[in-house]
Structure 1
């Protein structure tokens, strides 16, 4: 019989180790990007993008489905494209929706109407102007979005500290910002599929 005074104690730190945080991007939205737009037209395009859901007939990757099956908590932003994506994956499970997770704004630079670019190009330029030149047109600033991303990171860590993985269905760039906030809080990027639709980035505590 083992001596209770000398027997090896259980690893309590392992039992308390938090789950992983998986940041996933929503499915492809129901809005064609095969157009060329002026700056103002892109503003209208982005406004539509923000309220529309995802294109029908999409099948999430099997790897993402497996992550959902193992996750203890499912979260989504309140934008319809995220809500619909989460609903497809959740298969009836509860999904917590948070305004905290919505995408950062994308106001384009005020260029002349004769300049016509694709939505992808406008999105890149708008993000550069917003990130480096604080071009926000009265919407959320980069500083405010970074504070929100840090608040979101704290929320996700709170879920993960229960010991189960957390899956978030949200947005490409704001997920990137949350990832930066997680790294500042001592989490590492353990796996990444990039930022395409349905892609995931997995964070684990160091």
Structure 2
């Protein structure tokens, strides 16, 4: 109720701001007639060209000196670690399915492979570019094996791909796991939250 009264009072105050004071006091004043200026066509054209020219010059200068925006997607050590942890652990959890030859379980994680490859190697350094190219190539081999239903090729390709996965994020005794748990202390939004490996 208080909020409604406040809104109504505010609305009345805004409306009263546009009412001339004479109307509030009941006084009337004679209405002034607007003054008209007559200019020749030459003066109007000159003013228009002067104003338009200045505007165009300002626009051209503004566009000429505007710098490009370089949006790199906020790539940092933290975002790389998040991708390694979030998707890398999901891919490490696929090992039992790969060993059983469960092609559908591997196929369901296709996006995790893509996101791991692009996120864990998001930095532009030569080593990251090389590792990303290798990981993407092995990913193609894995999904070719899934398509062909070739268990042996799937196992060998996954074993090769596992070299790129964050095995250092597995196990409670891992130094990196302890470090990440400390980093995530009392944070609901850290990537380690609600993950079995970090509980």
Pair member with larger Rg: 2
Give the TM-score, by structure 2 length.
Answer: 0.29
Q: Which has the higher strand share?
A: 1
**Structure with more of its chain in helix, by fraction:** 2
TM score, norm. by length of structure 1 = 0.28
Larger relative contact order (CA 8 Å, sep ≥ 6): 1
